[in-house]
Structure 1
Amino acid sequence: MTKIPAPGTPAPAFSLKRDGGGEVSLKDFAGRKLVLYFYPKANTSGCTKEAIAFNGLRQDFEAADTAILGVSADPVAAQDKFKAKYDLAFPLASDEQTEMLSDYGVWVEKSMYGRKYMGIERVTLLIDRDGTVAKVWPKVKVDGHAAEVLAAAQAL
């Protein structure tokens, strides 16, 4: 199993289907900083709270020359509904085949009520203008997280 990329290492390249149709790739963000955040499932309480928090700070992220991209294994149709419902102003990408999620080490075995299953670990990466991982937040706790990521982006 692949591990989460460590700070100082190149971010793995990816190309994924995105909300609204089309694709989004790591190379689309070349020359800008990128907040790449992974969330388990659209329209669940924690994922909704996290998306709303990032969206609420999007102008501050823009001022710090930092793009935001959310990724889950939800189908594009679910991403479209999630984005529209909460008026999210950043792209959401879909990795139903979990290849990119595996490359980033966030597709992991989880356990709930004694049942084991594969799912997405809530992880955020800050990628610098050159495509190098600058900072990683593993096992994210949603409260205050977007503001902490913003501070790191502003300092980068």
Structure 2
Amino acid sequence: MKLVLIVMLVINCLIGLTIFIIMSRKRKLFSDRFGMIMAMSCSGILSLVIAMILHFLLPVPLSFIIFFSALVGGAIGIFFGALVTFQSLLSGFTHGVIGSIMGTMLSAVVQNPSLCSLPPSYFMSLEQSMVTFSLFGTCLVVITISIVYYSLTV
């Protein structure tokens, strides 16, 4: 299970790095408003999924994971926001931090459903739930990045 989660983390990081390189090469082609929208969407979804997978992988307290994933999400947002303007840098940072906190909270609920007063799921084991949510998140990243890439080519 750990190997599958590590592979998912590497795939998401490679997808993020690839779209960052593509966007940095084509940054002269799009306006500030379009670049800000791309920075917000890319940083938000990437930080959500990466924070979720990091929380599944690291066996440390929740407060440390929230702080660490907020730093990672903020860095992702700054990288994507730096492609356009200062305003997009700030919006990319905030969307990255918010996405990472949402990913951490989602993974905390997947690991312990009683946090939200949900009944425990006996149909799926914890490991199966983690892999399912990681696969769903990776599919969500692929779809979002594909739409962003398509919008760059049109």
TM class, shorter-chain normalised?
Answer: 0.3 to 0.5
More helix by share: 2
Q: Which has the larger radius of gyration?
A: 2
